[in-house]
A and B are shown apart, each in its own frame.
Chain A
């Protein structure tokens, strides 16, 4: 059983299109995240949700809209895709027993987005 899964694994699309990436975790975790990894492998937090509530939004363009229908799912919708959006997007989740940031984050396999 995959703990954190993402679909699709690869996404190739044209500039200006709108696309969504889905993430699901079966670990029973309370907190989910989206990270972006650029072409130089640099990883940066985009969003964090705790019990379906947005808790971190790191100066991401408003073309990016996360949605958490329930604790186990966190989707990422991107409007009007731009060349610079090409990257690998990772979903992650963690337990939140004490609202502590020491909890291990478990990562999905990533979604490789290429905007042409």
Chain B
């Protein structure tokens, strides 16, 4: 079974500051890991995903995440926050052969002017 823990249900940063959203996973098999973003009253949009090709994954909108097996982590970062980054962010895991995502509880990112 897989699970995902997102530390911090709310993160607030100033515009231009570093964004760091934490995600730790648990999986008995090598996982596939995803970050999705949800803007208010919208569906989820993929930011990036890890599928074992490279440990540092670059996504859309300047986001990236690094897979660290030793720490079972897949934290999401962005060097400089923009007001438009304010949204809910979800980390998710899937396992080979199981075509469903297991989501973390989400982190709401607020960006202060």
Q: Which of B51, B90, B99, B106 contacts A94 (CB 8 A)?
A: B99
Report the stretch among A13-21, A60-68, A77-85, A105-113 that lies at the interface. A105-113
Residues of B within 8 A of A105 (CB): 46, 101
Interface size on B, residues (CB 8 A): 26
Q: Report if B105 contacts A (CB, 8 A).
A: yes
Q: Report if B45 contacts A (CB, 8 A).
A: yes
Q: Report if B95 contacts A (CB, 8 A).
A: yes
**What is the chain B residue whose CB lies nearest that of A112?**
B41
Residues of A within 8 A of B32 (CB): 101-102
Question: With the chains together, A45 CA to B92 CA distance in Å?
Answer: 11
| B100 and A56 within 8 A (CB) | yes
| B42 and A31 within 8 A (CB) | no
Q: Which of B36, B42, B99, B103 contacts A110 (CB 8 A)?
A: B42
| B106 and A41 within 8 A (CB) | yes
